Structure 1
């Protein structure tokens, strides 16, 4: 009888943990306040001509990272002032550590000056990203071009 209770307890805890992770996936959060300089690969990825550069932190064997790229790359291509860059940190964990990134994919939005505007944990939803960045993008291009 004790074994049945243990199995039920594990199933309930697993279900709760799964629900929490699912709820947090794709969540857009506030930027982390930091006074540290950006790591070199991130600073090099910033586009001074783009109003916002989305830097996607990925790893080699991350399946959700491929989904994130499939959402953000076309979004950036059809939105004026928005650029997407994928940065693989598999062999450079110090970059993720310096940015305070604990999981992949994490996408950070930066201004041309390198100020972090927001963070997206997990696979984002395109319209939610545009809505969150609306105040930072040029007024005429806050909506994707057709």
Structure 2
């Protein structure tokens, strides 16, 4: 009986830990003041008010869904562009960016300042709201 109870309690602790870890995924967070690596600077669109850089890896489970969400947001928002950065073979670049998991989306202004970041699949409405004032809705 005691072994079964301990097993159940252990399972509950694991489930609680996973729930806490997943709760923060997909949330918009303020940008950092890290330096901008040249590989990322090259992805920025100088004509866009904001470039969303989706950091991916070859084996990323949520990257496809994230790409769909971000693509739809870019289509309906003027001044917003999307670029993808695969760091599968470049773990040092991921570390320089402070990326611990993929997908991670980092929003940069045209000067290369990080505005915000989202770890996990972004919520389009939350991300759009966070970007309000930096990019404008399309007229069409």
TM-score, structure 1 normalization = 0.89
After alignment, is 119-128 or 4-13 more displaced?
4-13
Distance of 1:78 and 1:57 partners within structure 2: 21
In structure 1, the partner of 2:27 is 27
TM-superposed deviation, 1:33: 2.2
After alignment, is 13-22 or 69-78 more displaced?
13-22
Deviations 1:37-76, CA, capped at 9 Å, x for gaps: x122211100010000000111111111111001001211
2:99 to 98, 101, 117: 101
**3-state SS in 2 of match to 1:127:** helix
Structure 1: which 5+ runs fail to align? Answer: none
TM-superposed deviation, 1:145: 4.8
Deviations 1:6-34, CA, capped at 9 Å, x for gaps: 31122111221222133112110011123
2:66 to 47, 68, 73: 68
Distance of 2:58 and 2:51 partners within structure 1: 21
Map 1:89-128 → 2, pairs under 5 A:
89-128=87-126
After alignment, is 64-73 or 18-27 more displaced?
18-27
Instruction: Give the conservation status (yes or no) of the 8 Å contact 2:33–2:113.
Output: no
Distance of 1:92 and 1:136 partners within structure 2: 30
Distance of 1:122 and 1:144 partners within structure 2: 26
How many residue pairs get aligned? The number is: 140
TM-score, structure 2 normalization = 0.92
In structure 2, the partner of 1:46 is 44
TM-superposed deviation, 1:132: 0.1
